[in-house]
């Protein structure tokens, strides 16, 4: 096994090596993501949609996130494990955020939390970082603000949009985050933010000029068929493979072909 990744490894990768982050939600997805060489495994609240079948990420609870973070933690041996803080678990106050972040660090193998928001969340990020909770930021298209944004819309277009994004990025860095996810923003804006910041940026739908990239694992595996954003590249069609395998099993059971002698005991 390569050396265990920690927060310093991630920070030191800026301008040295592109960072790979994958989402995982359970033991097998974390195990295979870990074996791929990815430096970060994120138990994203995308869990709500791609695994639990909710319409958006707002419904998922702290308990559900803890349960899946524990499972992913059992498969994550080398990568740095980050847990997403769900909607409503950090918005009320920095104290509420700290109490819930503590649950992730105490009750699961997570080594960091991620939370959405820029300038408005800076005080909360600072409060956590000052109390030894490593924080990954997340700005741009923040899915937990789905209702407020009027849908999943690219953020930061135009000069005003870029200014707002840059303020968010600086605020997250100054508050002490060790890295920041840039989601759903123009590639040029992501490039400018990446060169401005001293912490690594990890892009999703933010073009090539970020310090690293992340995709939702079930999207890249072809295992989520409800909605595929433009920025997703499918590296496999696991959903179709599953469907075909289930159909073959169905046929063989129906036709009396399974189990064969080789699958039966004397």
State the nearest-atom distance from the C-beta of 264 to ligand KIV, in Å: 43
Q: Per CB under 6 A, does 200 bind ligand KIV? A: no
Q: Per CB under 6 A, does 216 bind ligand KIV? A: yes
Task: List, as own/partner pairs, every contact residues 149-152 make where C-beta atoms lie below 8 angstroms and the sequence separation is at least 24, other chains included.
Answer: 152/184, 152/229
Contact segment (CB under 6 A) with ligand KIV among 30-38, 40-48, 87-95, 238-246 equals: 40-48
> Can you tell me the distance from the alpha carbon of 14 to that of 199, in angstroms, rounded to the nearest whole number?
7
Q: Per CB under 6 A, does 46 bind ligand KIV? A: yes
Q: Per CB under 6 A, does 112 bind ligand KIV? A: no
DSSP3 helix / strand / coil % (the chain, rounded to 5): 45, 15, 40
Cβ proximity to ligand KIV, 3 vs 233, nearer residue: 233
Per CB under 6 A, which of residues 58..97 are in contact with ligand KIV?
84
213, β-bridge pairs: 20, 203
Name the 3-class secondary structure at 164: helix
Of 181, 185, 210, 221, which lies in the binding site for ligand KIV, with binding defined by CB under 6 A? 181
One-character DSSP codes across 183-218: ES--HHHHHHHHHH-SSPEEEESS-S-SSEEEE-HH
| 266 among known catalytic residues | no
Identified catalytic residue from 63, 183, 243, 266 = 183
Contact segment (CB under 6 A) with ligand KIV among 38-46, 63-71, 147-155, 230-238 equals: 38-46
> Can you tell me the distance from the alpha carbon of 157 to that of 126, in angstroms, rounded to the nearest whole number?
28
Q: Which residues are catalytic?
A: 183
Binding site for ligand KIV (CB under 6 A): 23, 42, 44-46, 84, 138, 181, 204, 214, 216
């Amino acid at each position: 096994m390569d050396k265990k990744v920690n927060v310093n490894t991630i920070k030191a990768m800026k301008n040295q090596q592109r960072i790979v982050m994958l989402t995982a939600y359970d033991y097998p997805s974390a195990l295979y993501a870990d074996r791929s060489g990815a430096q970060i495994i994120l138990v994203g609240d995308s869990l709500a949609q791609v695994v639990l079948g909710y319409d958006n990420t707002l419904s998922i609870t702290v308990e559900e996130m803890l349960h899946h973070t524990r499972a992913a933690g059992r498969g994550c041996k080398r990568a740095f494990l980050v847990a997403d803080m769900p909607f409503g678990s950090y918005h009320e106050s920095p104290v509420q955020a700290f109490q819930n972040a503590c649950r992730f660090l105490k009750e699961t193998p997570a080594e960091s939390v991620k939370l959405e928001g820029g300038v408005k969340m800076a005080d909360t990020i600072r409060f956590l970082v000052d109390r030894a909770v490593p924080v990954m930021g997340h700005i741009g298209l923040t899915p937990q603000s789905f209702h407020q944004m009027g849908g999943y819309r690219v953020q930061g277009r135009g000069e005003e949009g870029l200014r707002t994004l840059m303020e968010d990025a600086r605020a997250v860095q100054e508050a002490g985050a060790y890295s920041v996810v840039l989601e759903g923003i123009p590639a040029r804006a992501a490039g400018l933010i990446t060169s401005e910041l001293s912490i690594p940026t990890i892009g999703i739908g933010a073009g090539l000029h970020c310090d690293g990239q992340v995709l939702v694992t079930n999207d890249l595996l072809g295992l989520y068929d409800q909605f595929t954003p433009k920025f997703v590249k499918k590296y496999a069609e696991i959903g179709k493979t599953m469907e075909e395998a289930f159909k073959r099993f169905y046929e063989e059971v129906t036709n009396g072909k399974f189990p064969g002698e080789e699958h039966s005991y004397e």
